Amino acid sequence: METRNVSLRDRLRALRAGDSFPGRPSPDRPPGTAPKERPAPVPGDPERGPGAVFPAGWEGEGWVYTRTLFLPRPSLRGDPLVFFPGLDQAPEESSLLFYDLETTGLSGGAGTTAFLAGVGELVPGAFKLTQIFLADYPGEPEFLARLQELLPSSRIWVSYNGRAFDTNLLKTRFLLNGLPFSPGPQLDLLYPARRLFKSLLPDCSLTTLERRVLRKPRGRDIPGAFIPARYFYYLSSGRAEELSDVFTHHCRDILSLAELYGHIPALLADPSSGVLSGEYDPLGAAGWLMGHRNHPRLFALGLEHLRQAYLRQVPGAGLKLARFYARRAEGDRAFRIWQELFQQGRDYASGLALAKDLEHRQKDDSAALGVTEELLSLFGGTRGLPELLKRQARLKARLSRPGPPG
Amino acid sequence: MDERQAELTSVLEELKADPSFMSCVTRWEKIPPRPGEYRDFPSDLNPLLREALLGRGIQRLYSHQARAYEAVKEGKNLVVVTPTASGKTLCYNLPILQHLLSRPNDRALYLFPTKALSQDQQAELNALVQTGLPLRVSTYDGDTPQSLRISAREKGRIVISNPDMFHGGILPNHPKWIKFLSSLAFVVIDEIHIYRGVFGSHMINLIRRLKRVLSFYNCRPVFICCSATIGNPAELARRILEEEVLLIDTNGAPAGEKHIILYNPPLVDQVQGIRRGLTTEAQRIALKFLKRKIKTIIFARSRIRTELIASYINQSLANYYNNNRGIRVESYRGGYLPSERREIERGLREGEIQGVVSTNALELGIDIGGLDVSILSGFPSSIASAWQQAGRSGRQAGLSASFLIASSAPVDQYLAAHPDYFFSRSPEDAYVDPDNIYLLMDHLKCAVFELPFKEGDSFGRGSAEGLALLEEEGVVRRTAGRWYWSDRSYPAEQISLRSLASENVIIIDRTLGKDEVIGEMDKRSAKELIFDDAVYLHRGEQYQVQKLDLDSLKCYVIRSEVNFYTDGLVKSDLHVLKEDLAAEKSGLSLILGDVLVRSQVTKYKKLKFHSGENIGYGDIYLPEDEMHTRGLLLVMDPRLTAGRIFRDFSPPEQQIIISRLGGLVKTAALLFILCDRRDIGLSERLKDPHTGFPTLYFYDNQPGGTGLCEGLLEHLPQALRAARELPEGCPCEAGCPSCIGAPDPGDPESNPKGVLKRFLAAWIGEA
């Protein structure tokens, strides 16, 4: 039955007219008047084309603009191999590309677009940074094609959270625009950064790392959360100068990324001073470095972090080190650590490890019983009561049995 | 089984021989057994699939399964309508598995309205597939762990999900699903009758979004829908899919003999039309069967009733010495943990549980095995669901019985008095509104987010105006002939498919310094029921409202023991915003269009318990509500029959007619339109400023409308005929809550029923 011979426009109008129903003045316009004409945005205007008010320093026409900056070259210190647990040798500096995107939202999904991309590389005497800007949506295929040219899959893509976010977003954008996408091998600094700094910092954002790890105050900066709104404002107003904060923010992000790449290996080079400095979490560093299983030198560097941390009495270091020795079948070393820890701290974990080691490895039931009973008196009723009682009963039973004949 | 059947036969015979029971039976219908109609397996059936079916004891198909198989092979969209336990799922599983086996890249999507049904289907498919079909079946819903999600979208040949997940998780991330979506050959929408009203109108838009995305991947799947028996399954499917659909509604499954007994509890008070309570009656009848170990399901209309009936039954059975004779009766309703529900379902299937008392939660196709007797305590909200619930008892061979116990509600009394109506007419029609402007706009946002719009792309009845509005709102950017999503938000996140306004008020008990949440209520109802000082009844306890705080959506109550209850008086004010259609029909002039409803609860009545005597008024101070929706005006234009007859009644009689006719028509309309009573709003005017005549306003109680007014317009002649019969069939004298409402206590001499009957006889008799 056709009962709706009314256009959607009429219904929408009626719906909105409800705001200005008799006796209820509309807040923004008198009843019956048409909505205000909005100024036609300049970029994206199909007749005039975009870019009429685009700021200097950028080149291009149509929908896509680029600029290239030569920034101070970050110093690379230490062995960057620490970033590459799978490789035998750190890649050449010249094969690295540092990249980052600014997007219209953080939630992902098909409706989130990248509008600004930057790719930095280490060239003799400078850090060469190229930014590509999408002046309006229709330019996206060109934007992406330019980006892929700058980011060939033959180079190593260095990013901060690029593995989970930027690359996935690009994959979607290329797909939606019917373009092939070939990502290069990824180095995402977020993963080592989390190991090293998570326990020391309120969060692991690049901005926080920049301030607290690189010790570079940013001064005036636009918070990342405001960036999409700034872009939308530019799109509707055509005021590209509103974006200069965003462009600067984005440059700094990529530069900091490269600096972080140079900074972390240096930080890890000397465990004894590193542990003392408190600039990173030595246990996280040990865990990360000891992940280089095929690389004896870096593995040893990780172990040295653990050892130094133990010597400096970093909480948890002793237990980790002892567990490492125990797994390596260096039981006596492990035992000495547990013994020392328990003597100093009377803590449950090392006490229990001690009791287990005495009972099972050293077969010294009476010493094991002694530790178990001490634990019972220290923690009886608060921790591990059933387990301790079981252990106590087992040890007692064995001790009261006559020894083996002969 | 044989023993239980013999017991069932003997209980039924005992009941038939019991004159006091039989005096309440308004119809005892015996439906003879029906043989099955079988077909051999199709000759092209994949040998692996044939083995799998044989392995599960299936040696041939029912005729409707074979028809579905052929139709799907021809690439037709289908809607299959068959009752419970008729092998419905094979109607889609068979052709889909056949296709997927020969085309190793193709995929299928199954959508179920609840997670419980998804799990059931996953189990059923697993049983088939695990016999050696090289296909992976994956469930993808809110409960799927992150670790399994990737494998579901990469490797799942059949993905089982629900509309909510599809809307919020899959469509907005469609590029991640490219492998799946670009080879999607089938979409199954089971229990399509659930998608009516708001949910259905959402579904229409969801399918529009799905098709847009699929056309991007150059993919056009076949849709297979299944529905319970409703009046218009093909029409509903066509509206939801916006495509042609082939209807298969001849059931080839055999059925055993079935007795359907309509039971109207005895009158306790003839004048006021009060009957014996539903709960007691349901319990009494159920015990007759349960005590003989006959498997019985009892449907109750509310969660509280469910608990009450189950506890009464268990009390009656309680016996420490014989462990309740080994009879276990459980209650089942929403609000139980999924694991508790699965446990009860399994117990029923495997025979450890003999009886279950359930809300309509067990009405859907969850597998609980065959039951012998079903007892409906009160007619469910629709005839369609009455048949669904009655269908829960019954087997392919052997006897079963269903008891439908009428409550004192007008619809129940009408059906009890007119059993032919129940047996002969088809169930209600389901309505959806493809043009609900609010839903359209919401989904349009999601659609732009998913893919930019090109000039000329359609979305429902047109997208250009809607996009222009979104552009003005600033979330969409139009440039170079396209519209792009231009906002940082994720629009699907803000839209719930299950409702339009999802704000609920939490009710907190503060008696003696407690701070305990005892319930929730939607904001609109809260204004009418739990205003300051209202008396609120909850699970048999009485509370008084201290404060309704609409800003924080909290209502504080304390236990009370006053001798009255309260009833909020809603004052509503209607304006016609736009007339879409004006017609003359059934002696009335009718107007269909957009209306603005402003409602405010300003006063409440204090009514004494039991007598209902009005003992005073109180004021309510709450902000007014405003809603744009669809309305249907019934205008008594004196140039047409109804108005002419109306004019000849005296003014006091006119007052009676106008104040009672609307409710009566609404009651009657519920026999034809699948919805709840409160989905349709009503306002009566003796002299309406818009039309200038006495007018009844019916409006859709959901913002923007869900097609109910259009449905009412379509069924008006039938509804008016039923409205005329309703008071005729009621035994009361001057009107009672079961027909047109009790006479005005302030004017006990009046006979509203007599007046209304005269009016209706003159009008409908003549129309």
The whole-angstrom distance between A138's CA and the closest CA on chain B is: 7
**Model pLDDT, residue A113:** 96
**B462 to A8: CB separation less than 8 angstroms, yes or no:** yes
CATH code of A392's domain? 1.25.40.10
Q: What is the pLDDT of residues B231-246, one digit of tens each?
A: 899 999 999 999 999 9
**A109 to B451: CB separation less than 8 angstroms, yes or no:** no
**B578 to A14: CB separation less than 8 angstroms, yes or no:** yes
DSSP B492: G
**A104 to B465: CB separation less than 8 angstroms, yes or no:** no
**Model pLDDT, residue B375:** 96
Q: What is the pLDDT of residues A11-67, one digit of tens each?
A: 555 555 443 333 233 333 333 333 333 334 444 444 444 444 566 688 888 899 999
Residue B715 · residue B673 · CB < 8 Å: yes
Residues of B in contact with A45 (CB under 8 A): 479
Distance, in Å, from the CA atom of A395 to the CA atom of A364, rounded to the nearest integer, reads 10
Q: Is A356 domain-assigned?
A: yes
**B461 to A1: CB separation less than 8 angstroms, yes or no:** no
The half-sphere exposure of B481 on its side-chain side, counting CA atoms within 13 A, is 5
Distance, in Å, from the CA atom of B414 to the CA atom of B719, rounded to the nearest integer, reads 12
**Which of B 618-637 lie inside 8 A of A, CB atoms?**
626, 628
* Length of chain B, in residues: 767
Say which residues have a Cβ less than 8 Å from residue A331's Cβ, sequence separation at least 6: A325, A357, A361
Out of B74-78, B650-654, B731-735, which region has the weakest mean confidence (pLDDT)?
B731-735
Residues A125 and A115 in one domain: yes
Q: Which of B181, B433, B451, B479 to mutate to test the interface with A (most CBs of A within 10 A)?
A: B479
Distance, in Å, from the CA atom of B235 to the CA atom of B241, rounded to the nearest integer, reads 10
Give the containing element (helix H, strand E) for A142: helix A140-150
The shortest CB-CB distance from A138 to any of B450, B480, B628 is to B480
Q: Is the predicted pLDDT of residue B719 greater than 60, yes or no?
A: yes
Distance, in Å, from the CA atom of A228 to the CA atom of A245, rounded to the nearest integer, reads 12
Q: Is the predicted pLDDT of residue B186 greater than 50, yes or no?
A: yes
Assign B340 a pLDDT band (cuts: 50, 70, 90): confident
Residues A275 and A127 in one domain: no
Distance, in Å, from the CA atom of B193 to the CA atom of B234, rounded to the nearest integer, reads 10
Cα–Cα nearest to B288, from B267, B268, B307, B261: B261
Q: Is A53 domain-assigned?
A: no
Q: What is the pLDDT of residues A178-215, one digit of tens each?
A: 999 999 999 999 999 999 999 999 999 999 999 999 99
Residues of A in contact with B490 (CB under 8 A): 105, 107-109, 111
Q: What is the dihedral of CA B684, B685, B690, B696, to 10 degrees?
A: 30
Residues A121 and A260 in one domain: yes
The whole-angstrom distance between A375's CA and the closest CA on chain B is: 40
Longest alpha-carbon distance in chain A: 111
Assign B74 a pLDDT band (cuts: 50, 70, 90): very high
Last residue of one domain, picked from the residues A297, A314, A331: A314
Residue A110 · residue B212 · CB < 8 Å: no
**Model pLDDT, residue A5:** 40
Give the containing element (helix H, strand E) for B108: strand B107-111
Distance, in Å, from the CA atom of B643 to the CA atom of B664, rounded to the nearest integer, reads 17
Residues A239 and A134 in one domain: yes
Residue B431 · residue B675 · CB < 8 Å: yes
The whole-angstrom distance between B748's CA and the closest CA on chain A is: 41
Q: Which residue has the tokens 């001790």?
A: A399
Q: Which residue has the tokens 């006897």?
A: B399
**Model pLDDT, residue B426:** 72
Distance, in Å, from the CA atom of B121 to the CA atom of B190, rounded to the nearest integer, reads 10
Distance, in Å, from the CA atom of A375 to the CA atom of A385, rounded to the nearest integer, reads 9
The whole-angstrom distance between B661's CA and the closest CA on chain A is: 25
The whole-angstrom distance between B528's CA and the closest CA on chain A is: 24
**A111 to B491: CB separation less than 8 angstroms, yes or no:** yes
Q: Is A133 domain-assigned?
A: yes
Residues of B in contact with A46 (CB under 8 A): 479-481
**B437 to A15: CB separation less than 8 angstroms, yes or no:** yes
Residue A292 · residue A209 · CB < 8 Å: no
**B449 to A232: CB separation less than 8 angstroms, yes or no:** no
The half-sphere exposure of B671 on its side-chain side, counting CA atoms within 13 A, is 30
Mean pLDDT is highest, among B318-322, B371-375, B438-442, for B371-375
Residues A233 and A116 in one domain: yes
Q: What is the pLDDT of residues B93-108, one digit of tens each?
A: 999 999 999 999 999 9
Q: Is the predicted pLDDT of residue B459 greater than 70, yes or no?
A: yes
Whole-model pTM?
A: 0.83
Cα–Cα nearest to B302, from B537, B508, B83, B510: B537
B373 touches A at CB < 8 Å: no
**Model pLDDT, residue B221:** 97
Q: Is A140 domain-assigned?
A: yes
Averaged pLDDT score across all residues of chain A: 85
Distances (CA, A) of B490 to A112, B140, B447, B486: 9, 20, 11, 11
**Model pLDDT, residue B501:** 53
Q: What is the pLDDT of residues B2-28, one digit of tens each?
A: 788 889 999 999 999 999 999 999 999
**Model pLDDT, residue B234:** 95
In DSSP notation, A249-262 reads: HHHHHHHHHHHHHH
Distance, in Å, from the CA atom of B121 to the CA atom of B421, rounded to the nearest integer, reads 35
B214 touches A at CB < 8 Å: no
Q: What is the pLDDT of residues B493-515, one digit of tens each?
A: 888 887 655 567 888 989 888 88
B491 touches A at CB < 8 Å: yes
Fold of B2-26+257-424: Rossmann fold (3.40.50)
In DSSP notation, B703-730 reads: TT--SHHHHHHHHHHHHHHHHHHHHHT-
**Model pLDDT, residue B273:** 67
Q: Which residue has the tokens 């008892």?
A: B393
Q: Is the predicted pLDDT of residue B184 greater than 80, yes or no?
A: yes
Reported CATH class of domain B38-248: alpha beta
Strand blocks (E) in A104-251: 114-123, 126-134, 156-159, 186-188
Q: Which residue has the tokens 């890649």?
A: A91
B434 touches A at CB < 8 Å: no
Residues of A in contact with B577 (CB under 8 A): 14, 17-18
B318 touches A at CB < 8 Å: no
Distance, in Å, from the CA atom of A250 to the CA atom of A230, rounded to the nearest integer, reads 13
Residues of A in contact with B435 (CB under 8 A): 4, 8, 11
Extents of the domains making up chain B: 2-26+257-424, 38-248, 437-494, 581-595+629-766
Q: Is A207 domain-assigned?
A: yes
The shortest CB-CB distance from A6 to any of B450, B489, B578 is to B578
The shortest CB-CB distance from A5 to any of B451, B488, B580 is to B580
Residue B543 · residue B509 · CB < 8 Å: yes
B172 touches A at CB < 8 Å: yes
DSSP B252: -
Residues of A in contact with B486 (CB under 8 A): 104, 137, 232, 235
Residues of A in contact with B466 (CB under 8 A): 8, 12
Count interface pairs A-B at CB distance under 8 A: 125
Structure tokens at B645: 């007859």
Say which residues have a Cβ less than 8 Å from residue B516's Cβ, sequence separation at least 6: B508, B509
Give the containing element (helix H, strand E) for B147: helix B146-155
Which percentage of chain B shows pLDDT scores above 90?
Answer: 50
Residues of B in contact with A223 (CB under 8 A): none
Averaged pLDDT score across all residues of chain B: 88
Distance, in Å, from the CA atom of B24 to the CA atom of B26, rounded to the nearest integer, reads 6
In DSSP notation, B396-420 reads: SSS-EEEEEE--SSHHHHHHHH-HH
Residues A170 and A206 in one domain: yes
- Please state the φ and ψ torsions of residue A398, each to the nearest 5 degrees: -65, -40
Q: Is A30 domain-assigned?
A: no
Residue B453 · residue B467 · CB < 8 Å: yes
The residue segments making up the domain with residue A341 are 315-399
| Closest residue of chain A to B632, computed from CA coordinates | A3
**B481 to A109: CB separation less than 8 angstroms, yes or no:** no
The whole-angstrom distance between B564's CA and the closest CA on chain A is: 39
> In terms of pLDDT, which residue wins out, B642 or B538?
B642
Distance, in Å, from the CA atom of B210 to the CA atom of B202, rounded to the nearest integer, reads 12
B238 touches A at CB < 8 Å: no
Assign B540 a pLDDT band (cuts: 50, 70, 90): low
Cα–Cα nearest to B615, from B576, B542, B566: B566
Distance, in Å, from the CA atom of B527 to the CA atom of B537, rounded to the nearest integer, reads 15
Residue A316 · residue A199 · CB < 8 Å: no
Residues of B in contact with A7 (CB under 8 A): 461-462, 465
Residue A338 · residue A353 · CB < 8 Å: yes
**Model pLDDT, residue B651:** 92
Which percentage of chain A shows pLDDT scores above 90?
Answer: 66
**Model pLDDT, residue A121:** 96
Q: Is the predicted pLDDT of residue A162 greater than 70, yes or no?
A: yes
**Which of B 680-719 lie inside 8 A of A, CB atoms?**
710, 713-714
Q: Is A231 domain-assigned?
A: yes
In DSSP notation, A325-348 reads: HHHTT-HHHHHHHHHHHHHHH--H
Q: Is A128 domain-assigned?
A: yes
**A104 to B488: CB separation less than 8 angstroms, yes or no:** yes
**Which of B 492-521 lie inside 8 A of A, CB atoms?**
493
The shortest CB-CB distance from B486 to any of A21, A38, A235 is to A235
Residues A102 and A207 in one domain: yes
Instruction: Count structural domains, chain A.
Output: 3
**Model pLDDT, residue A27:** 35
The shortest CB-CB distance from B486 to any of A110, A176, A232 is to A232
Cα–Cα nearest to B207, from B434, B422, B363: B434
Residues of B in contact with A109 (CB under 8 A): 172-173, 449, 490
**B172 to A110: CB separation less than 8 angstroms, yes or no:** yes
**Model pLDDT, residue B117:** 87
Residues A211 and A321 in one domain: no
> In terms of pLDDT, which residue wins out, B747 or A195?
A195
Span B666-687, average pLDDT: 87
